[in-house]
Amino acid sequence: MGQEKKPYYKLGTLEKGFKILELLCEREGMTVSDVAAEVGMQRSTSHRFLASLKELGYLVQDVNSNYKCSLKLFELGMKTVNALEIKQVARPYLKELSGIYGETINLGYWNGFDIIYLDKIESSAIIRMDLAVGRRIPIYCTAMGKSIFAFLPDSHQKEILSSITLKPMGPKTITSKKLLKVELGKIRERGFATDDEELSADVRCVAAPVFDHRGLPIYSLSIAGPSIRIKPSMFEKMGGDVARFAKALSKSLGQKILIGDGAKVNI
């Protein structure tokens, strides 16, 4: 019999951290000494792990200084569930938009300073917009990114604006924070965003935000294609259509705030 192979690159520290999280999720609350005894480590080591996990937001302490799991783990789990749910709910909308325009239709979600492609229906044209699901794109120079950016609560918007560097990505990237703020205001008024070769040369995109049940612009729906087919003169019509579909998708997710049609959105 061959000797059983051991897994490569096993990180003992990471493994212990997850063991502590799993342990605390099963208990009402534990002291530093309790955790040390259960996991099999020195009290001082247990304290460092617990303090680090608390600092990262995964643990909290009650009035008796016992450590408990925070809601952050629940939120992470819900993000995974929501990602699976919205793909199923959004598919019919993607298919219908694809049938109308024949261009690539994308669904993305907000992740900090980026937007991540969650799903898409590709155009059947030989020349088409083609970014893989899972690909990250910047929030500031893409239609999907700006459509979400414009509708974020003011505190989130200010935090992102103060932290990001507006690096030129395409020939028309907005690299002035003052001008970007003006652009975000226009997007908020009309209900959709455009990317006129801001991310990449010869590519244009129109997108609208999709709100979750809390009224937050977590997702975005977009139509993307080459500039030889999508002209700036088409933005208004395409924007109205994608905003209409995004609004319907938002309602399917339980969102009650109306967007587009010149209406302001208060979050």
Domains in the chain with CATH codes: 12-70 (1.10.10.10), 79-252 (3.30.450.40)
Asked whether the beta carbons of 191 and 261 are under 8 A apart, the reply is yes
Give the residue among 91, 85, 84, 126 at the shortest CA–CA distance from 107: 91
Share of the chain above pLDDT 90, in %: 57
Residues of the chain scoring pLDDT < 70:
1-11, 71, 74-75, 77-84, 255-267
| DSSP collapsed to 3 states, 20-34 | HHHHHHHCCCECHHH
Looking at the DSSP assignment, which residues form a beta bridge with residue 94? none
User: pLDDT digits over 8-60, tens only?
Assistant: 556 678 888 889 988 888 887 899 999 999 889 999 999 999 999 999 988 88
pLDDT score of 80: 64
pLDDT score of 6: 52
